Amino acid sequence: MLDVFEIVDPRFRELILPIAWLERLHTGMRWCEGPVYFADQRCVIWSDIPNNRLMRWCEDTQAAGIFRADSNFANGNTRDRQGRLVTCEHRTRRVTRTEPDGSLTILADRYRGRRLNSPNDVVVKSDGTIWFTDPTYGIASDYEGGGAEAEQDGRYVFRLDPRDGALAVVADDFDQPNGLAFSPDESVLYIADSGGIGREAGNRHIRAFPVRADNTLAEGRLVTAVTPHAPDGFRVDEAGRLWSSAGDGVHCYTPQGELLGKIRVPERVGNLAFGGAAGNRLFICGHTSLYAIFVNTCGAKAVAA
Ligand code: MG
């Protein structure tokens, strides 16, 4: 318990609460991913990919249960500007939106007439555009969705305009693009490349791309490598720091890529999300369990549309 925090840089001390501890909220999943916090429902929704279900844990009852069985092997989740759940689905190789009546709207499933690989993680910008990564993990085996051939020529990062359905490639030089998040002012898009998972060679890093006024990306820069394992999902806090998943827990980096410290988690971490009433609680998807810990910062607030 005493070793939850690993201080690498003294600045990390201001971001943690020495009396906070890592709580295991629920366990029994096979591979957790895609946490998203619903402040209006005081709950977290996340994916249990190989079990083909979306889970939900509620703060009021402290109880977890299945939110959606047969989730089409859902992975990343977020909310759009209207508060609707937006989900990446592996098996159906698409991005969907859950409407207030519970029905699903397909937002994207093809690019230039060919099926997507398997959308992995997703974020919504303040202008309503939906940005998502499309690596091949969900079609690599039946375990995470369904073994199938890739139809795309690459593993792209896409920008979708839900108003007209226009889908555009914003980055095409990734090995396996994975988690993604905007800086607090949305002037920078961070994207993880987890191409090194399952291979000795391959990328294990996060890159940063300036976002132009026309929503294209300028030349990117390397922010940091993330090891052990590789970066999967990550989030940005109110000061622009990156909180990334890693093989040994959660790593906190400055926007320049300096490692400030770690939250040690007894399982490999796939993704995380800020939540709680004050936005200062990190919900962490370990391999088989959902964890939470309070920190002394909060997630980046959405900028005004
Ligand atoms: Mg991911």
pLDDT, position 1: 45
CA of 19 to the centre of ligand 1 (A): 30
Give CA–CA dist 140/150, Å, rounded. Answer: 9
CA of 269 to the centre of ligand 1 (A): 10
CA of 119 to the centre of ligand 1 (A): 9
pLDDT, position 2: 55
pLDDT, position 256: 97
CA of 22 to the centre of ligand 1 (A): 22
CA of 122 to the centre of ligand 1 (A): 9
CA distance to 12, 47, 179, 289, per residue, from 22 (Å): 17, 20, 23, 12
CA of 244 to the centre of ligand 1 (A): 11
φ and ψ at residue 144, rounded to 5 degrees = -110, 10
Cis peptide before 228 (omega within 30 of 0): yes
Question: What share of the chain has pLDDT > 70, as a percent?
Answer: 98
Is the sign of the CA dihedral 283, 303, 236, 202 positive or negative? positive
CA of 121 to the centre of ligand 1 (A): 5
Q: Are 230 and 197 in contact (CB under 8 A)?
A: yes
Give CA–CA dist 47/64, Å, rounded. Answer: 12
Helices then strands, counting H and E runs in the chain, come out as: 0, 27
CA of 55 to the centre of ligand 1 (A): 16
Closest CA to 3 of 292, 262, 284, 272: 262
CA of 7 to the centre of ligand 1 (A): 26
**pLDDT of 50 over the 90 cut:** yes
CA of 209 to the centre of ligand 1 (A): 19
Confidence band, pLDDT 50/70/90 cuts, at residue 103: very high
Range name among 6-15, 20-29, 36-45, 196-205 with the lowest pLDDT average: 196-205
pLDDT, position 194: 97
In 109-241, which ranges are E strands?
110-111, 114-115, 122-124, 130-133, 157-161, 166-171, 177-182, 188-193, 205-210, 221-225, 234-236
Q: Are 299 and 36 in contact (CB under 8 A)?
A: no
pLDDT, position 304: 64
CA of 93 to the centre of ligand 1 (A): 14
CA of 180 to the centre of ligand 1 (A): 9
CA of 99 to the centre of ligand 1 (A): 23
CA of 1 to the centre of ligand 1 (A): 28
- Starting at the edge strand found earlier in the chain, the sheet holding 234-236 runs 5-7, 259-264, 249-253, 242-246, 234-236
CA of 65 to the centre of ligand 1 (A): 22
CA of 287 to the centre of ligand 1 (A): 12
CA of 114 to the centre of ligand 1 (A): 22
Tell me the pLDDT tens digit for each residue of 119-141.
999 999 999 999 999 999 999 99
Paired sense of beta strands 94-98 and 85-89, if any = antiparallel
CA distance to 29, 37, 59, 293, per residue, from 64 (Å): 11, 14, 9, 17
CA of 231 to the centre of ligand 1 (A): 8
Give CA–CA dist 134/120, Å, rounded. Answer: 6
How does DSSP classify residue 238? T
| Mean pLDDT estimate for the chain | 96
- Starting at the edge strand found earlier in the chain, the sheet holding 289-294 runs 23-27, 289-294, 281-286, 269-275
**pLDDT of 198 over the 90 cut:** no
